[in-house]
Amino acid sequence: MVKHDKEQPAKTKCQPEHECCQPGEKELPDDEAGDTGNTGDTGDTGDTGNTGDTGDTGDTGNTGNTGEEDELSADEYEPNDSRSESTQVALETDIEATIYPAGDVDFYVFDTENTDYWDKIEILINNVSEDLDVEIKVYDEDGVELSGQHAGTRGANLSYVMESPGGTYFLRVESRWSNDVGAYTLNVKNLHLNDEYAPNDTRNDSTDLGILPAEDVNGVIVSSEEEDWYKFKTENDVIFDYVQFDITDVADGLEASLSLYNADGNDIFSVNSGAKGANLRHTLVTPGGIFYARVTSYWSDPGTGEYKLEIKNLHANDEYEPNDTRSTAYDLGTLPVSDINGMIVWTTGDEDWFKFKTTSSDPFTISITDVGEELQVNLRIEDEPGNSHTVNSGNKGADLIISSNDMTYISPDNDKTIYIRIQGRYSNHRGAYKFSVTH
Ligand SMILES: [Ca+2]
Ligand SMILES: [Ca+2]
Ligand SMILES: [Ca+2]
Ligand SMILES: [Ca+2]
């Protein structure tokens, strides 16, 4: 933004590089007009008269300017030359006013339509006189200057858009150059850019999306200071599952940042898309619950714009859930059992417990096959009193086949309950598996 120094002496304002000094564009001060006359005087006699006539023509032009100035007068809102005299402006209402006489400043005050959520406010200066380079300054309700802008060209209209959380603002309108006068029309309006969920700027004001899936949440970040908070409950409760977050349809000017908090307000993760306009996907493994998601503009590259948020469970776990403890072991009944398709979605928490009954003292064999590439199986076999045997498969993706003959403390018998626990050997192990148990 070009800063204009109002302290400059008036004479420096009309340097040759300034458009006001281009020939014929502006009325000249009287002494320069006189010089023109003198130039005419130095000409030849007969032609001097003509030159004089030309001078008159010039005067006619000045008269035209004078006529235009004659139409200008102080506007009906005067006096409003100080903040305490500000004219109250209703939104979306044309205020036709003038900067007149030279040096006039016009103060206005307006209240935004948004009261407790972010929106953008447009200050529009239209119908600007051709001699006027309009300059505005915006102040908060305490009179602190927030920002400003000038049209940059005489006669140009000015549109100034500012982000606002709502409130009262003072506006100062004046000529950028102290000798200029002219008319303008002021109109202030809310652009109504925020989403239907605003205000949701704090965790307490989170928009409640209910139980997942939450699809087609069309949000807008209006200011880099705005936060969009959403509350949701996972579809899974107790069962470990992936919850997938997608932010798509991101505006070119916005780099989205997503943070997740648990019901107590503790931070779970914080991710950003990496570039303005880029989509963001993140998955969380959780046994379920109530969460708070916060969407903002990424702090290191502030921007604003629209986005779409989708949150859903992936239903990745198996049909035997919840079976994460011995007491919730899935009951497979009496041997034999086969084609049990399990899934470890997350080793830290997702334990898969099953129980079955042997029918005799004949040994039984557990065969775990079709093991996922990211899963090394850790298998524990227990009887009712708690005697146990634990074994790992050789490596990720490997089958694990073991006979009760190889279990020192486990022995089958008629109508005897045996528990097995399947999990990943290490904390980042996950994947599908299949098993059968036969005598
Ligand atoms: Ca005024
Ligand atoms: Ca918003
Ligand atoms: Ca499982
Ligand atoms: Ca489980």
In the predicted model, is pLDDT for residue 98 greater than 70? yes
CA distances from 243 to 261, 287, 317, 392 (A): 13, 10, 11, 29
The owner of tokens 């006039």 is 104
- Are 144 and 171 contacting, i.e. CB atoms less than 8 angstroms apart? no
Count of CA atoms in the C-beta half-sphere (13 A) of 296: 17
Nearest ligand to the C-alpha atom of residue 326: 4
Instruction: Give the bridge partners for 436, in sequence order.
Output: 367
Report the range out of 23-32, 33-42, 102-111 with the highest average pLDDT: 102-111
Q: How far is the CA of 89 from the centre of ligand 1 (A)?
A: 14
Nearest ligand to the C-alpha atom of residue 319: 3
Q: Is 116 exposed, middle or buried (0-12, 13-18, 19+ CB in 10 A)?
A: exposed
- Amino acid in the structure at residue 295: V
Nearest ligand to the C-alpha atom of residue 99: 1
Measure the CA–CA gap between 84 and 172, rounded to whole angstroms. 12
Measure the CA–CA gap between 78 and 170, rounded to whole angstroms. 16
Measured in degrees and rounded to the nearest 5, phi and psi for residue 308 equal -120, 135
Can you tell me whether residue 44 is helix, strand or coil?
coil
Report pLDDT digits (tens) over 15-28. Answer: 333 333 333 333 33
The owner of tokens 């304002």 is 13
- Tell me, what's the pLDDT at 34? 36
Name the pTM for this structure: 0.76
Count of CA atoms in the C-beta half-sphere (13 A) of 263: 6
- Tell me, what's the pLDDT at 428? 86
Can you tell me whether residue 293 is helix, strand or coil?
strand
Instruction: Give the bridge partners for 16, in sequence order.
Output: none
- Tell me, what's the pLDDT at 19? 38
In the predicted model, is pLDDT for residue 240 greater than 80? yes
- Tell me, what's the pLDDT at 97? 97
- Tell me, what's the pLDDT at 87? 97
Q: How far is the CA of 84 from the centre of ligand 4 (A)?
A: 70
pLDDT bracket for residue 432 (50, 70, 90): very high
Nearest to 184 by CA among 121, 100, 88: 100
In the predicted model, is pLDDT for residue 82 greater than 80? yes
CA distances from 327 to 82, 331, 388 (A): 77, 10, 16
**Mean pLDDT value of segment 228-252:** 94
Where is 70: in which H helix or E strand? helix 45-71
Where is 149: in which H helix or E strand? strand 145-150
Can you tell me whether residue 356 is helix, strand or coil?
strand
pLDDT bracket for residue 70 (50, 70, 90): low
Measure the CA–CA gap between 249 and 70, rounded to whole angstroms. 55
Of the candidate ranges 1-10, 319-328, 416-425, the one whose mean pLDDT is the lowest: 1-10
Count of CA atoms in the C-beta half-sphere (13 A) of 356: 23
Q: How far is the CA of 216 from the centre of ligand 4 (A)?
A: 31
Can you tell me whether residue 31 is helix, strand or coil?
helix
The percentage of the chain sitting over the pLDDT mark of 90, rounded to a whole number, equals 79
- Tell me, what's the pLDDT at 17? 37
Of the candidate ranges 116-120, 246-250, 387-391, 427-431, the one whose mean pLDDT is the lowest: 427-431
Q: How far is CA 122 from the centre of its chain?
A: 20
Nearest ligand to the C-alpha atom of residue 194: 2
Nearest ligand to the C-alpha atom of residue 101: 1
Measure the CA–CA gap between 105 and 101, rounded to whole angstroms. 9
Q: How far is the CA of 145 from the centre of ligand 1 (A)?
A: 18
- Tell me, what's the pLDDT at 266? 96
- Tell me, what's the pLDDT at 35? 38
Q: How far is the CA of 165 from the centre of ligand 4 (A)?
A: 47
In the predicted model, is pLDDT for residue 46 greater than 90? no
**Mean pLDDT value of segment 292-314:** 95
Q: How far is the CA of 210 from the centre of ligand 4 (A)?
A: 25
pLDDT bracket for residue 253 (50, 70, 90): very high
Sheet holding 330-334, edge to edge: 330-334, 352-358, 416-424, 377-383, 388-392
Q: How far is the CA of 79 from the centre of ligand 1 (A)?
A: 5
Q: How far is the CA of 84 from the centre of ligand 1 (A)?
A: 12
Measure the CA–CA gap between 193 and 305, rounded to whole angstroms. 9
Q: How far is the CA of 56 from the centre of ligand 3 (A)?
A: 98
pLDDT bracket for residue 302 (50, 70, 90): confident
pLDDT bracket for residue 400 (50, 70, 90): very high
Nearest ligand to the C-alpha atom of residue 295: 2
Report pLDDT digits (tens) over 347-384. Answer: 778 999 999 999 999 999 999 999 999 999 999 999 99
Q: How far is the CA of 78 from the centre of ligand 1 (A)?
A: 5
Q: How far is the CA of 379 from the centre of ligand 4 (A)?
A: 13
Nearest ligand to the C-alpha atom of residue 108: 1
In the predicted model, is pLDDT for residue 284 greater than 60? yes
In 222-279, at which residue ranges do the beta strands (DSSP E only) sit?
Answer: 228-248, 256-262, 267-272
Can you tell me whether residue 146 is helix, strand or coil?
strand
Q: How far is the CA of 248 from the centre of ligand 2 (A)?
A: 15
Nearest to 323 by CA among 341, 349, 348: 349
Measure the CA–CA gap between 34 and 37, rounded to whole angstroms. 5
- Tell me, what's the pLDDT at 427? 84
- Tell me, what's the pLDDT at 237? 82
Q: How far is the CA of 238 from the centre of ligand 3 (A)?
A: 12
In the predicted model, is pLDDT for residue 60 greater than 60? no
Contacts of 320 (CB under 8 A, 6+ apart): 330, 340, 342, 352, 354
In the predicted model, is pLDDT for residue 344 greater than 50? yes
- Tell me, what's the pLDDT at 292? 98
Report every protein residue that has its C-beta within 5 angstroms of ion ligand 2.
Answer: 194-195, 198, 220, 228
Q: How far is the CA of 309 from the centre of ligand 2 (A)?
A: 12
**Chain mean pLDDT for the chain:** 86
Of the candidate ranges 15-24, 243-252, 425-434, the one whose mean pLDDT is the lowest: 15-24
Measure the CA–CA gap between 278 and 247, rounded to whole angstroms. 9
DSSP state of 56: H
- Amino acid in the structure at residue 349: G
Cβ neighbour number for residue 402 with a 10 Å cutoff:
17
DSSP state of 220: E
Nearest ligand to the C-alpha atom of residue 351: 4
